[in-house]
Structure 1
Amino acid sequence: MDRKIMSLGKSSLVVSLPKEWMQLNDVKKGETVSFNIQRDRSLVIYPSSIKKSEEKEIIINVTSNEEEILITQKILGAFLNGYTGIILTSDNIFTVPQTKAIRNMAGRLYMRVMEADAKKVYLQSLTDESKASLEQAIKRMHLISRSMCEGAFTALKNNDVALAKSTFSLDDDVDHFAFFIVRILRNAAQNPYLANELHIDPLDCMDHQMLVSRMEHASDYAADITRHIIMLSGANQTIPGEVIELMITAGTQVADLYVKSVEAFFSKDVDAAVGIMKCRNKLEKLDIEMTSKAFIGPQKEAELVCGICSIRDNIKRISHCTFSIAEIAVNRAFKII
């Protein structure tokens, strides 16, 4: 649809609004409209009444025998898609496990239970995404994720079960940030006004969501390392010294590269990102050496073999997240503005 630019007076230029658009949005002569200049230099016009995203509600029906995991996934899906109100109704009454699952998920998403009875629960999100700082939220998430990676390898080096347990407990905090950030990004991808308020465009949304996903996965892998440290300690099993040294060497390098990859993402430092990717072969050699030495010598208990394999695999997975972030950083640096 094209419109001709016309003169109004000596210095003003005007463009008429399409009649169909005015009817669709119930805009009448004399009313005010709002507009935003987008980062791609396009102009988006809004009826003032819907400039900000309207609150959305969804009703989720829960059967009496519905599993708790399905209920929590439905709540999470609704939250991530921007619903401010989630109404859960039961065809009978909620069971005790269902009620606990609903309340636990609400707590993880920082939603409030506004109304509740035996057959209905109303959850509401009170967060205003337009006032959030996306970059600060991601950096805070990264601080916790970084602490988890560093804590996991320190606990492994010193066989520090207390530190392992403390590090493991941080995983929920990372998840809280991830849920909140993904909700913002999904809303911004659909809402030009919100995207403009956050100073991001759809491609930024995709890059940031991939970054958050890799950070969340790296945190999960670090948590799994601490879980196996705790398990091995409980089983009175000790990883052989040569294997521990290789694990610490590889893990420390991966943790350092992980931090640098996130820094490269925000700074758009291509040289730093490429330098991180060049370390792939070095880490693969450490992994091969670790594998070969892990099973040399006398036969080991099943718990020890399981722990060694899992810790090794998780170090490798964190490295994959790291290299993926570095690749995203390079691609992001060459985005056309």
Structure 2
Amino acid sequence: MEIRKVQITGGSSYIVSLPKEWIKSSKIAKNDPVGLIVQQDGTLLVTPKIDVEAVQREKTFQVNATTDQIFILRCLISAYIAGYTVITLTAQGRLPPKIRMRVRDFTQMAIGQEVVEETETSIRIKDLLNPSEMPFQNTIRRMAVLARGMHQDSVEALKSGNTALAEDVIARDNDVDRLQWLIARQANLVLNDANLSRRMNVSPQMALTYFLIARIIERIGDHGTRIARSSIGLTMTDQKCDIITMIDDASTTASSIFDRAIESLFSQDIKTANATIQHVEDLEEQARAINTHALDYDAATATALVSISDSIRRIGEYSGDICESIINHLIHEETPIH
């Protein structure tokens, strides 16, 4: 760290000199304007980027006929989440058809990614989404609606034996994943671009909180999918009515905990978040009762029922994790407790 003294000029203006090396590397000339951004911790950010354009970052991948398709798909997703605005795939010869297929899969999975240029030897993918047009709150709300619906519909599929509904729940998991990737990308963009953080009115700390909560909601969606998978092929009879009622009751408890967690997130209510965590113990007791009752059935049925019970319990516990993240954030923000 360089230490420089603040000086007074003209009797009322405070000035501090800027490092010559930084001036040269930033290509700043005499009379060029620079931006000054006051950070939440009181530090002052000096930036030569004073326009509202997002930071442009490019990533290039070299591929060939032996490139692992799953690996390159993971690389594309990682580059997307990392915040690269342009991704290029190039080959010395013709791009393998299977690589082109993975690119199509990627652009269908990732929000805002489109192929803008394609030749025999390269494909150029560009991000067409303006980050400030997709507020974190809207994406989190959409994720919460999807995850809650998946949980409720998976239990309904179990109760009614509706295989088509269970398969629809499984298909919806991709939608939750896409939104979680978007949140991760937005968080990285905010962390790397102070101007974007200011325009979106989201602090880096809040962006990280949204990222953590999005990860948790994505896992809740996974457990909705797990319930749906377990319900397929599980035949419900009159003898199983008691345990299905127990599962339905536990599911209602888990949904209530999740709803309260999301409510405390958007209301920034630390007391509601804390009170919600207390209800997780009630759900754990319900899950234990289901597991004990499941032992009365054959091994295959008992295994499926215990898996469903475990997923419902995990949905409640993950909802408690959301509340803990909210409390951590609000304490960091020094929110007053009444």
Q: Which amino acid aligns with 1:331?
A: N
Query: What residue number does 1:272 align with?
Result: 272
Q: List gaps (5 residues or longer) in structure 2.
A: none
The answer to whether the 8 A contact 1:38-1:44 is kept is yes
**What are the residue-to-residue correspondences of 1:202-213 with 2, within 5 Å?**
202-213=204-215
- More off after superposition, 184-193 vs 15-24: 15-24
With 10-19 and 241-250 compared, the bigger mean Cα shift is at 10-19
Hey, what's the Cα distance between the residues in 2 that align with 1:132 and 1:169? 24
What TM-score do you get using the length of structure 1 for normalisation?
0.89
Percent of paired sites with the same residue: 24
Q: Structure 1 residues 285 and 48, CA, compared in 2 at 3 Å: closer, same or farther?
A: closer
Q: Report deviation, 1:170.
A: 2.2
TM-superposed CA distance for 1:315, in Å, is 1.2
Quote how far apart the aligned CAs of 1:146 are: 2.1
- Residue type of the partner of 2:286? L
- Superposition deviation, residue 264 in structure 1: 1.3
Q: Is the alpha carbon distance of 1:285 and 1:85 closer, same or farther for their aligned partners in structure 2, counting shifts above 3 Å?
A: same
Paired position in structure 2 for 1:174: 176
User: 1:198 — aligned with what?
Assistant: 200
Letter in 1 for 2:321: S
**What is the 5 A alignment of 1:122-161?**
122-161=124-163
After the TM superposition, which residues 85-124 of structure 1 pair with which residues of structure 2 at under 5 Å, given as runs?
85-90=86-91, 93-110=94-111, 111-124=113-126
Q: Residue 132 of structure 1: CA displacement?
A: 3.2
Deviation at 1:194, TM superposition (A): 1.9
SS in 1 for 2:40: coil
Letter in 1 for 2:127: S
Give the Cα–Cα distance (whole angstroms) in 1 for the partners of residues 271 and 55 of structure 2. 43
- Give how far 1:47 is off: 0.9
CA contact (8 A) 2:88 2:123 kept: yes
**What's the secondary structure of 2:74's corresponding residue?**
helix
SS at match of 1:170: helix
1:68 CA drift (Å): 2.4
Task: Kindly provide the amino acid, as one letter, of the partner of residue 233 in structure 2.
Answer: L
Please report how far the alpha carbon of residue 179 of structure 1 lies from its aligned counterpart in structure 2 after TM superposition: 1.0
Would the aligned equivalents of 2:95 and 2:120 in 1 still touch at CA under 8 Å? yes
Contact in 2 for aligned 1:250/1:315 (Cα 8 Å): yes
Q: Match of 1:6, as an amino acid?
A: Q
> What is the CA–CA distance in structure 2 between the aligned matches of 1:121 and 1:9, rounded to whole Å?
57
From the superposition, tell whether residues 206 and 296 of structure 1 become closer, same or farther in structure 2 (CA, over 3 Å): same
Quote how far apart the aligned CAs of 1:77 are.
Answer: 0.6
Is 1:283 the counterpart of 2:244? The answer is: no
* Higher mean C-alpha displacement, 236-245 vs 140-149: 236-245
How many residues get paired? Answer: 331
TM-score under structure 2 length normalisation: 0.88
1:112 aligns to what SS in structure 2?
A: strand
Q: CA RMSD in A?
A: 2.4
Matches within 5 A, 1:247-326: 247-297=247-297, 299-300=298-299, 302=300, 304-326=301-323
8 Å CA contact 1:34, 1:47 repeated in 2: yes
Take 2:320 and 2:245, find their aligned partners in 1: how far apart are those partners? 23
Q: Give the CA deviation at 1:84.
A: 1.0
Tell me how far 1:83 sits from its aligned partner: 0.8
Deviation at 1:57, TM superposition (A): 1.3
The 1:48/1:168 distance shift into structure 2, 3 A limit, reads same
CA apart distance, 1:21: 2.0
Output the amino acid matched with 2:142.
Answer: R
1:335 and 2:332 aligned: yes
1:270-305 C-alpha deviation (Å, 9 max, x unpaired): 2212222212222221111111111215x35x3x34
Give unmatched runs, 5+ long, in structure 1. Answer: none
Quick one: structure 1 residues 68 and 313, their matched pair in 2 at CA, closer, same or farther if it must change by over 3 Å? Answer: farther
| Inter-partner Cα distance in structure 1 for 2:132 and 2:23 | 26
